[in-house]
Structure 1
């Protein structure tokens, strides 16, 4: 174990640890930081012996640039996966604005921020679906396979030609589209309910619509949610397929 071994281990550890900081499920605060560091170190030790091109002795300035590069590679991979999982939050926030849950927020311990009720419920269901299909294994496999595409001592020309940023923007666009598709059925039903309550307010002005409408809309939301839950998991399946395909595509872009 010479100095090149320890430098290689450090570079691998930086990439895996930065991925753990931003990737879905692993980045949540419900997983202690000590576990994230330990898992990153174990995976780094397992990977350092499998490098096709071991790191030779390099100047310290070059090593610092390689550490910075490994940090950005892990961040980009984890951020790409997180973009797709954010679609469930988008769908939940859209629905809560229409149902009336936007005034009731919950503290999300996974991200350390406040989130809406429906968005939190959809996120928990999506994470359970990810775990039940061993998607967390595919996330780990994605970061480990990145060393086959992007060597630890290679550069990434995609940083400057715009391909990487265009691909991430396309992922964000598709994420919003899937989030709107998740919310569209209930959103359409809420719109029809608002139209019905508007007509009812004109025909029966004695009725206090502002008192009757909120509980009726909440009841309608949960009734529709029960029937549309299988369709939600179908969209979540498509979401995760796009997430893993995007991780593979971004590795090809950065490793080209």
Structure 2
């Protein structure tokens, strides 16, 4: 009976961590994946992990079990949030570009993040998801949450809760996210700024021209031309983004497991 109870407690703690990760991780947390599939994936992964855990949970007080459940939820949320923060750079770049072009008035619902996003942001999100799936990035995400049990054991405490290392690392992830997002949007934003400056000079020198009727189609035309030219660089930056995302997941495991 003790073995059965220990197995159930072990399964519950593993399920809590994996489920919290699925709720916050990129791609898996999107609303395009039904909740039944997320729960099913979490159950299957928990069953596989429960059979290989070397230190199953024994008979512990209810208060200790409650703290362990909270810890597993914290570990899963932080691990998934670390990956999702980096993935937000794609949406940030699209938002900045559409704000400069004038597409910000046309918002679309993005099921990946569950929010309204602009046209370019939605296109970049779709491309990023396709690249992640084509490079087996979703396998690496699952591998990351499974590897967390080697770094952070079920009965281990997380000393990084109190010393501020987790929050400091998340702030660094935000910094990297903004940097990569600005790098993705900088070519188009810089080009359109020059276009706005040139059209402003034309409006001052040729007041007879209705610049407000000419500016939107000119900016859209230049936007599409520049976007086609810099599309290969977007995939390069996306590769940098994915490498940074998986590196951040490895770093946060070392921080919480240390």
Shorter-chain TM-score tier: over 0.9
Over the residues paired in the alignment, what is the CA RMSD in angstroms?
Answer: 0.7
1:47 to 46, 49, 66: 49
Partner SS, residue 54 of structure 2: coil
Gaps of 5+ in 1: none
Partner of 1:255: 257
Partner of 1:127: 129
Q: Tell me the TM-score normalized by structure 1.
A: 0.99
Correspondence 1:98 to 2:100: yes
Q: What is the CA deviation profile of residues 91-113 of structure 1, one whole-angstrom value per residue up to 9, with x for unaligned ones? A: 11111111001111111223332
Q: What is the CA deviation profile of residues 73-131 of structure 1, one whole-angstrom value per residue up to 9, with x for unaligned ones? A: 00000000000010011111111111001111111223332111111111110110000
Runs of 4 or more off by more than 3 Å in structure 1? none
Aligned length: 256
Shift of 1:54: 1.6
Q: What is the CA deviation profile of residues 110-156 of structure 1, one whole-angstrom value per residue up to 9, with x for unaligned ones? A: 33321111111111101100000000000000000000000011110
2:10 to 3, 8, 11: 8
Q: What is the CA deviation profile of residues 228-249 of structure 1, one whole-angstrom value per residue up to 9, with x for unaligned ones? A: 0110000000000000000000
2:77 to 56, 75, 78: 75
Cα distance in 2 for residues equivalent to 1:109 and 1:9: 30
Gaps of 5+ in 2: none
Cα distance in 2 for residues equivalent to 1:182 and 1:111: 19
Shift of 1:196: 0.6
Q: Tell me the TM-score normalized by structure 2.
A: 0.98
Q: What is the CA deviation profile of residues 134-191 of structure 1, one whole-angstrom value per residue up to 9, with x for unaligned ones? A: 0000000000000000001111010100111100000100110000000011111001
The 5 Å alignment of 1:18-33 reads 18-33=20-35
